[in-house]
Chains A and B, each alone.
Chain A
């Protein structure tokens, strides 16, 4: 069964450093989502792509976070500089069509900022 791939699975970095996360959605899925999940909370949407275009980035801290999906397939989420409060799980999800309700999640990247 096709899955959403994410790497790395774990990342430890020092504050003020740059970090990047990669996501490869299920083949053919046009919509891609990045979520942040703080321990003990539910995921919160950071950014949503439809193909290569950003649909919603209202919750993305744009002073330090950036996301791209240049060819409308895989995507990268970057944080620069990282802060202690960025320690969280970063989840990528995809869905087949704009508006398809079921989202398929990857295993996530656990980030620890020291």
Chain B
């Protein structure tokens, strides 16, 4: 079963524009992670935000977390054609011991040159 749900399912923008993707989840989390997947390839870890954090930055990426709304957003600034990929949020539940990641269905981002 998939806990996270990304919105929108697909997003098409021009190079240089900002892209915002949202993720909603259902149960309390230990942390939330964002991964990128280029077409037909494996996933690459982008950023991790813990439940006691509200915002994190990494290069052109900005992630926010609102645990009261059970939601997160990923902002990619000044997008490039190379950012074209699927983006997934994944949650690690609070409690438990095996740090099981549960992925959403992803947002397909297309950046047009």
State which residues 44-63 of A face B: CB under 8 Å.
44-45, 48, 55-56
| Count of residues in A whose CB is under 8 Å from the partner chain | 25
Residues from chain B with Cβ under 8 Å of A91 in the complex: 42-43
Residues from chain B with Cβ under 8 Å of A4 in the complex: 42
- Closest chain B CB from A65 CB (angstroms): 18
Query: What is the interface of chain A mostly: helix, strand, loop, or mixed?
Result: loop
A22 within 8 A of B: no
State A50–B2 Cα separation when bound (angstroms). Answer: 23
B97 within 8 A of A: yes
B103 within 8 A of A: yes
State which residues 1-26 of A face B: CB under 8 Å.
4
**Chain A residue nearest in CB terms to B32:** A101
State which residues 96-114 of A face B: CB under 8 Å.
98-108, 110
Query: Beyond A99-B97, A99-B99, A101-B31, is A41–B42 a contact (Cβ under 8 Å)?
Result: no
Query: Beyond A103-B45, A106-B42, is A42–B99 a contact (Cβ under 8 Å)?
Result: no
A-B contact pairs, 19 of them (CB 8 A): A42-B103, A48-B98, A55-B98, A56-B100, A89-B40, A91-B42, A98-B99, A99-B97, A99-B99, A101-B30, A101-B33, A102-B45, A102-B48, A103-B43, A105-B42, A106-B42, A107-B41, A108-B40, A110-B40
**Chain B contacts to A: CB under 8 angstroms:** 2, 4, 30-31, 33, 35, 40-45, 48, 88, 90, 92, 97-106
**Chain A contacts to B: CB under 8 angstroms:** 4, 40-45, 48, 55-56, 89, 91, 93, 98-108, 110
